[in-house]
Amino acid sequence: MHAQHDRSRPATAPSEPILLRGDGRASLSGAELLDFPAEDRTVTVACASGTRHTATWTGIPVFDLFADVGLDDETTHLVVESADGYRVCIDVYDALDAVLAYARDGTPIGEEHGYETRFIAPDIDGSRTVKGVRAVEARALDPSTDPESLEDISKKP
Ligand SMILES: Nc1nc2c(c(=O)[nH]1)N[C@H]1C(S)=C(S)[C@@H](COP(=O)(O)O)O[C@H]1N2
Ligand SMILES: [Mo]
């Protein structure tokens, strides 16, 4: 599950940058994303409606993305947002194995779907595997803050 990605496999760079907010801010272009070592995760995406499918996703361990931006020790959650406003809030422990994926079963996601990147983690609900990631923000939430109050997981048109 944590096998290092075979770098000889062709990869297409996502066309949109990913915005990071931690101690600092950064915007990583698709080309810069491909410079990070990638890993594979075989994950079953399961929806409350009953749909499930398993695939091997290739991407960058999410916390590696924050190497230059810096991450507060107090970080409790990652808020992951797509361009259309779909937004989830993930406990950092559930995000430890997460990747920002750009390929699915060896094919760039954008070649087969209407989005190019996906937030994938083994232990989160399918509804929280965000398609078309635009931004990842580290948050230190007060225990009185309901993480779900930061989410918008209503279906987008
Ligand atoms: N940006 C975005 N990501 C999203 C959604 C969405 O509406 N917008 N739907 C979620 C839900 S509810 C599920 S179950 C899965 C469905 O993924 P699939 O199309 O690969 O089965 O994507 C999730 N990611
Ligand atoms: Mo879903």
pLDDT per position in the chain (157 positions), as tens? 455 555 545 578 999 999 999 999 999 999 999 999 999 999 999 999 999 999 999 999 999 999 999 999 999 999 999 999 999 999 999 999 999 999 999 999 999 999 999 999 998 999 999 999 999 999 999 999 999 999 999 876 5
**Cβ–Cβ under 8 Å, residues 120 and 114:** no
Select from 52, 57, 79, 86 the residue to mutate for testing ligand 1; criterion: most ligand atoms less than 8 Å from CB: 86
Q: What values do phi and psi take at 95, rounded to 5?
A: -100, -5
Q: Which residue is it, tokens 């760039």? A: 108
* 98 lies in some domain: yes
State the pLDDT at residue 8: 47
State the pLDDT at residue 120: 98
* 56 lies in some domain: yes
- Position in ligand 1 atom list of the atom nearest CA 155: 7
The alpha carbon of 48 and the centre of ligand 2 are apart by a number of angstroms equal to: 6
Number of structural domains the chain divides into: 1
Structure tokens at 2: 């944590």
**Cβ–Cβ under 8 Å, residues 18 and 74:** no
State the pLDDT at residue 6: 54
pTM of the model: 0.94
**By residue range, what is the domain housing residue 71?**
18-142
The CATH code of the domain that includes 106 is 3.90.420.10
Q: Is 106 left (phi over 0), alpha (psi -120 to 50) or beta?
A: left
State the pLDDT at residue 155: 72
* 50 lies in some domain: yes
Q: Is 120 in the pocket of ligand 1 (CB under 6 A)?
A: no
